[in-house]
A = this chain, B = another copy of it.
Amino acid sequence: MSPTHTDVPMAPAELDPCGMPDHPDCGIRDVLDRVGDKWSVLVVVELASGPRRFGELQRAVDGISQRMLTLTVRRLERDGLVTRTVYPTVPAQVDYRLTDTGASLTHLVKALADWSLRHREAIAASRHLYDQTHPDHDIR
């Protein structure tokens, strides 16, 4: 088969039967695989400000490689979080924009941003303290 390096990876398997009330991770993983992905979040955040073209996204996200951007938007498209529109112009032109679902995800990201903002200092302090209290754990 030889799947190329740029095809959509996706979830290899569902691992939560979604049943026990004590383990509310019924579909969390699906989301987290997106939200947890560094690039996905940054792309979604960028698209939250409006539709963007491929190049614009790449410049906006800053640091993302072409391959990663392609993979990221592909996954988001596959999940129905963004739409990909191709304009058959001379030099190909494509724009990406959030779907309603994708837009709703933005709210969660905002919430996360909010949370991290409220706790970032505490976390930083905690880390600092930990690093001093546990010098043996030679990190870095």
Residues of A bordering B, CB below 8 Å: 1, 3, 7-10, 15, 22-32, 35-38, 41-42, 45-46, 49, 63, 74, 77-81, 101, 104-105, 108-113, 115-117, 119-120, 122-123, 125-127, 130-131, 137-140
Separation of A74 and B15 alpha carbons in the complex (Å)? 24
Tell me which of B8, B35, B37 contacts A139 (CB under 8 A).
B8
The reply to whether A45 and B32 form a contact with Cβ atoms under 8 Å apart is: no
Question: Which secondary structure characterizes the binding site on chain A?
Answer: helix
**Copy number of this protein in the oligomer?**
2
Chain B residues with Cβ below 8 Å from A140 are 3
The reply to whether B113 and A24 form a contact with Cβ atoms under 8 Å apart is: yes
The reply to whether B38 and A79 form a contact with Cβ atoms under 8 Å apart is: no
A35, chain B: closest CB distance, angstroms: 6
Chain B residues with Cβ below 8 Å from A31 are 112-113, 115-116, 119
